[in-house]
Amino acid sequence: MSDHVIVVGLGFGDEGKGAVVDALCADGSVDKVVRFNGGAQAAHNVVVGDRHHTFSQFGSGTLAGVPTWLSRYVLVEPIALATESRELEAIGVTDPLSMMSIDARALLTTPIHVAANRARERARGADRHGSCGKGIGETAWYGLLAGRKAGELVEGQRVLGEPGPAPTVGDCLNPRAARHKLDALARFYEPLIGDGTNVDELVALYRSFADAVRITTGDELDGRVVFEGAQGVLLDETYGFHPHTTWSTVTPRNAKHLLNGRKARVLGVTRTYQTRHGAGPLPTEDQAVLDRFPERHNGTGEFQGAWRAGHLDAQLLQYSVRCCGGVDGLAVTHLDADGLKVATGNGLEDLPDPVAYLEDLLGVEVLVTGAGPARADYAVRENPRHDRVDAGVGGRDRAAV
Amino acid sequence: MGHGKWDDNAYAAAKTFRAAKGIADFGYTASIKSQPRDNWKAAKALDPFKVALRECRDSPDHADSTPIAVLFDVTGSMGSVPRIMQGKLGKLHGLLQRKGYLADPQLMFGGIGDADSDRVPLQVGQFESDNRMDEQLRDIFLEGNGGGQKSESYELAAYFVARHVVTDAWQKRGRKGYLFIIGDELNKPRLEARHIRRVIGDDVNQDIDPVSVYRELAKKWNVYFILPNQSSYFHDDAIAEHWRAILGQNFLKLDDPGAVCELIAATIGMEEQVVDLDQALVDLAEIGSVAESRSVGKALVAVGAAARPATAAPLAIDGPDDVTLT
């Protein structure tokens, strides 16, 4: 593949987007990985040889040497970013922060948001939403409060006090602006989390953060770009199953805004079966599937809840593809799993060849295959059945030749 | 940020970002060393000259403050100890708090040099309970010289702590603070009045016997001298004899300089009678200091800790009478 690619998860997350992005970057043809949604709650596993990293804010092309740009649609958490940078250094990446640039308009997730997120999720008791406890929803919500007054309901949540403007990555360059916004933020959340936040310390920390990464004000889409989506379309804030959703646009919409008319191929990623973390619907859930495919890198999170699995769900996949406005190709992971079934409108059927089945079901070609956790288990199929992909005549809008 | 308390992650993040920016962890030293020697001076926050008092006070966040003063010899052979401290500060603080050794530790750092030959023979910071102590450490000037007379001005530092530090722990509760001096040489034979005047600014006209300074200090402080294996003096019996004569069993020899933070934590845990030596070593291993715990064990065993019943605090000196003074 030689054009821009938008990698989108077609499930509830954990489809294998990280490994797919790494596979696309592995041949050196990609100049930048751009994140276009979500924040520090992303967890994209990449295994290269004996190295493994769970990518959260760094792009999954990092082990392939590809720099990351966090676009304005990403929620940025500097403390977690620093931790991730140290983890990457520990597995041999030199000066990871030098491979990172961030749009100044990106919202900042602070320890205040994190504390508020956790306080709310704890208060929900048995009705937890399956939040990761990383302040994502809270960051998104606070970002919506401009001009709102105390007592108003915004997205079903009552505004506690007087909100201020949401802190952004750009504010980190300016201690005065950062202090102003963080003070307002701390005051706003006092009723929920108390008043102990040390704003001075945060301001100093964010200043050194701003010194360590490149903060950008314009477009960073030079060369060939892979857009790395976080979460899956079935968790999308608009199209997912509320309330078990993420406060993020998971579909390619943000990536397309960033592209501003430039062409890109949308690559939908799916496993050969369905999975999800925590609460919410999983129509084809089956303990037998969970038992057959235990996960090395996915466990039960304190806030997220249990890891769950079920059969491939044809209708959900078709729904996800429709939510994306169609896809131009598929990446199918976990092809090493065999003896699978698929739920169609007519019940459970055996699934002998997932690649053929999915190409037939969704009318697009499988361009990336994964049959294990490591880069070596992945293949980018330049010409899956015909030469037409590189000739630019493939994809969902064109009839199969 | 843990509501006013030290936060390991934030501390580590700040350090990561600084490192990425290319700033050495001891930025003050780097900037000062590039200037002519005549301009060398302590960072403002660490300069003891004309400082009336350094205070360790209770606050709503820290109602039961315990002062811990850590003063390093920053001369040539000892320059790496502050760097080690700096790297492990979060661990030390975390261990003290999380394991319940102390509810509200407040740390103060300082640097000790040679008043006969150094531009900056004494630096003393302020007691801090949050990430500012990291800032303070990084502002310590690592002058690095030292006089080569096998002595440094430890007694000048001891004098400052005795005369210029007040603590709520002592004033409100009659509880001693902790002073750790980390070095590898002897006290000067005299604490010279001219050095006190020049460095601290007190109007003192008579030289003072260093031992009397430690005697005064021991009334309000548990005083320890840690000799890390960092120079040839580690094996020099004269050093051990000198310090044992002043501090008794509170002279600690540490074979792994990388374990200095862990030794401080374990010593406090035992002095507070929260843990015995075995439990302290288990706690250290739990925070990942497995190799360090071996050295800590050796340092504390060497002063006779293991020979005591496990129920007694092995380093239980309580009150000035237990300190061997000459």
- For residue A220, the model assigns a pLDDT of 81
**Which stretch, A105-119, A303-317, A383-397, B277-291, has highest mean pLDDT?**
A105-119
CA distance B48 to chain A (A): 25
How close B168 gets to chain A, by Cα (Å)? 22
- Amino acid at the residue A201: E
Residue ranges for the known binding site of A are 13-19, 148, 231, 246, 334-336
pLDDT, tens only, B79-111 = 677 777 777 777 788 788 888 899 899 999 999
Residue A16, classed as helix, strand or coil, is coil
Locate all alpha helices (DSSP H) within A194-312, ordered by sequence.
199-212, 253-259, 287-292
CATH number at residue B235: 3.40.50.410
Domain coverage including residue B127: 8-304
Arithmetic mean of pLDDT, A164-190 = 94
What distance in Å separates the CA atoms of residue A167 and residue A161, rounded to the nearest whole number?
Answer: 17
pLDDT of residue B82: 78
pLDDT on residue A106:
97
Check pLDDT > 60 for residue A95: yes
Instruction: Give domain status of residue B75, yes or no.
Output: yes
Closest partner CB to B13 (pick from A79, A95, A194) = A79
Strands A274-277 and A307-310: antiparallel
Would you state the pLDDT for residue B320?
33
Chain B closest-CA separation from residue A91 CA (Å): 16
Q: Quick count: other Cβ atoms within 10 Å of Cβ A191?
A: 10
- Domain boundaries A8-96+219-390, corresponding CATH code: 3.40.440.10
Q: Which residues of A are less than 8 Å from B2 in CB distance?
A: 111, 196
Start and end residues for every CATH 1.10.300.10 domain found in chain A? 111-216
The answer to whether A324 and A332 are in contact (CB under 8 A) is no
**Domain(s) of CATH 3.40.440.10: residues in chain A:** 8-96+219-390
- Coil, strand or helix: which one is B156? helix
pLDDT score for B231: 75
Residues A389-401 have pLDDT tens digits of: 443 333 434 333 2
The answer to whether the Cβ–Cβ distance between B13 and A82 falls below 8 Å is: yes
Average pLDDT of the residues of chain A: 89
Q: What pLDDT does residue A304 have?
A: 62
Output the pLDDT for position A391.
37
pLDDT exceeds cutoff 90 at B148: no
Chain A nearest C-alpha distance from B1 (Å)? 6
In this predicted structure, the answer to whether residue B311 has a pLDDT above a threshold of 80 is no
The pLDDT of residue A309 is 94
Global model pTM greater than 0.95: no
Shortest CA gap A136–chain B (Å): 17
pLDDT of residue A160: 85
Residue B248 has pLDDT above 70, yes or no: yes
Q: Taking residues B237-248, what's their average pLDDT?
A: 94
Residue A98 has pLDDT above 60, yes or no: yes
B21, B61, B132 ranked by CB distance to A208: nearest: B21
Q: Taking 90 as the threshold, does the pLDDT of residue B136 lie above it?
A: no
The residue from A4, A22, A44, A311 that is catalytic is: A44
The A-side interface with B (CB below 8 A) comprises 78-79, 81-83, 85-86, 95, 97-98, 111, 194-198, 201-202, 204-205, 208-209, 211-213
Residue with the bigger pLDDT between A396 and A304: it is A304
Number of domains into which chain B is organized: 1
3-state SS, one letter per residue, for A227-253: EEEEEEHHHCCCCCCCCCCCCCCCCCH
Candidate list A14, A103, A286, A328, residue with the active-site label: A14
- Residue A1 pLDDT: 64
Which residue intervals of A12-110 are DSSP H helices? 17-25, 78-90
Distance between CA atoms of residues B290 and B302, nearest Å: 19
Contact B1 A197 (CB under 8 A): yes
Which chain A residues touch B4 with a CB distance below 8 Å? Answer: 196-198
Q: What mean pLDDT is predicted for residues A302-323?
A: 89
What value of ipTM does the predicted structure carry? 0.83
Query: CA–CA separation, B87 vs B216, rounded Å?
Result: 33
* Domain A111-216, CATH: 1.10.300.10
Sequence-distant (6+) residues with CB within 8 A of A387 are none
What is the rounded average pLDDT of the residues A52-57? 96
- Say if residue B307's pLDDT is above 60: no
Query: What SS3 class is residue B94?
Result: helix
Provide the 3-class DSSP secondary structure of residue A131: coil
Terminal alpha carbon distance of chain A: 19
Res. B316 pLDDT band, cuts 50 70 90? very low
Bond into A243 cis (ω within 30): yes
How confident is residue B310, by pLDDT bands cut at 50, 70 and 90? very low
Per-residue pLDDT, B196: 97
Interchain contact, B13 vs A202, CB within 8 Å: no
Q: Over range B39-61, report the average pLDDT.
A: 92
Tell me the pLDDT band of A82, cut-offs 50, 70 and 90: very high
Residue A297 annotated to the active site: no
Is A14 known to be catalytic?
yes
Binding site membership of A for GTP: which residues? 13-19, 334-336
CB contact under 8 A, B12 and A211: no
Of A127 and B241, the structure prediction assigns the larger pLDDT to B241
Higher-confidence residue of A318 and B233: namely: A318
Query: Is it the case that residue A191 has pLDDT exceeding 80?
Result: yes
CA distances from A159 to A141, A155, A188, A281 (A): 10, 10, 9, 29
**What percentage of chain B has pLDDT greater than the value 70?**
86
More confident call, B26 vs B163: B163
Between A167 and A3, the higher pLDDT residue: A167
Q: Pairing between strand B122-124 and B221-228?
A: unpaired
Query: pLDDT at position A390, please?
Result: 40
- pLDDT over 50 (residue A282): yes
Closest by Cβ to A205, choosing from B10, B20, B61: B10
Residues of chain B positioned with their CB less than 8 A from the CB of A186:
none
Q: Provide the pLDDT confidence category of residue A4 given band limits of 50, 70 and 90.
A: very high
Residue B13: list chain A partners with CB under 8 A.
78-79, 81-83, 205, 209
